[in-house]
Amino acid sequence: MVCKILIVEDDDDIRETLTDVCAGEGHDVVGARHGREALDLLKDNVSGKCMVLLDLMMPVMDGKSFLEAVSTELPQRLNDLSIVVFSAGASISHPLVKGFLKKPVDLDEVLSMVNANCTTEA
């Protein structure tokens, strides 16, 4: 199964590594450095069903603000999105959040989370 995955993470190394690993598994991966960039991608470039791996601590727009912005700015896309939070701290409770991965995250956990939440065939 091939998924469309949006990785929202400000740390370049983590974002690039996750992109490489998920792409290596054959998924269709795109990265964003913060919530605002991710929102713009969802509006213009990434259509259809999509899994979002979301960091919480980020510049410009953090994870929590991204969740709020998605709800208000892209209500028509809510059914398309499957959001998983990954953070060094605690998770947040939000109706859009489907899962949580704690940093330092295990690759197998990431991949099984991707498989569990992958709703789209690219």
Q: Which residues bind another protein (CB under 8 A)?
A: 10-14, 17-18, 20-21, 24, 56-60, 62, 64, 88-89, 103-108, 110
Rank residues 62 and 80 by Cβ distance to another protein and give the closer one.
62
Between CA 69 and CA 89, with CA 65 as vertex, the angle to 5 degrees is: 145
Q: CB of residue 105 vs another protein: minimum separation in angstroms?
A: 6
- Output the smallest distance, CB 35 to another protein, in A: 10
Q: Least distance (Å) from another protein to the CB of residue 103?
A: 5
**Cα-based distances in Å from 39 to 31, 36, 85, 94, 119:** 11, 5, 16, 17, 19
